Amino acid sequence: MGNVSSQSAAVATIAAMITPALLLLGSASLVASALVRMARIVDRARILAAVVHDGTLDKMGVTTDQLRGWLESHAKRAHCAERSIRLLYFAIVVFIATCLSIALDRATGDILKWFPVALAVVGTVLLLAGGVYMVMESRLSGEQIADEIRNALSRLQQTKKQATDV
């Protein structure tokens, strides 16, 4: 009978350790998304910086103030994405520690019951904070693309007007 009980305890420990693993999976998915967004920000900022360094601003049809605004927007977006990535990575570390703390709690005869719960709460708060920064970055991204579209439409209108004037 003692063997069945120890097997049940082992299965219960493993089952308990799987729960934070699901949170790990969600965190990793958000990290992947945030890294993709950061890569896009970096690529676009490098293109705009190259325009500045090459002196080909006139080809883009934007003023220096518009370009400065776009670069500043990319800086804000990069800041949000970087914070999100950092927080989500911390969440992953905390969720891994949560899994290990469950095993530690069981190995010490359940004297640390509060510890895995506390770690899970901390990890969840980090996950939430990382998500909030991604929402902020998405909002900035939406504002920026709307501004770029307005600029492009204005440029088209000017081109059309110049063509009809000639």
Note whether residue 124 is domain-resident.
Answer: yes
Report pLDDT for 102. Answer: 87
Buried b (16+ CB within 10 A) or exposed e, 43-82: ebbeebeebeeeeeeeebebeeeebeebeebbeebbebbe
Maximum separation of any 2 CA atoms in the chain, in Å: 97
Note whether residue 152 is domain-resident.
Answer: yes
Percent of the chain with pLDDT over 70: 93
User: pLDDT at residue 108 above 80?
Assistant: yes
Give the list of residues 6+ apart from residue 127 with CB closer than 8 angstroms, or none: 23, 26, 27, 30, 87, 88, 91
Note whether residue 9 is domain-resident.
Answer: no
Average pLDDT over residues 3-30: 75
pLDDT digits (tens, 9 = 90+) for 135-157: 999 999 999 999 888 888 888 88
Give the list of residues 6+ apart from residue 111 with CB closer than 8 angstroms, or none: 105
Q: Across all residues in the chain, what is the average pLDDT?
A: 87
Report pLDDT for 19. Answer: 76
Report pLDDT for 1. Answer: 45
Note whether residue 11 is domain-resident.
Answer: no
This prediction has a pTM of 0.80
pLDDT digits (tens, 9 = 90+) for 73-102: 999 999 999 999 999 999 999 999 998 898
Rounded distance, CA 73 to CA 151, Å? 15
Note whether residue 144 is domain-resident.
Answer: yes
Number of domains in the chain: 1
Give the structural domain span for 134: 17-165
Q: Please choose, from the candidates 121, 46, 43, 139, the residue with its C-alpha nearest in 3D space to the C-alpha of residue 84.
A: 139
Note whether residue 41 is domain-resident.
Answer: yes
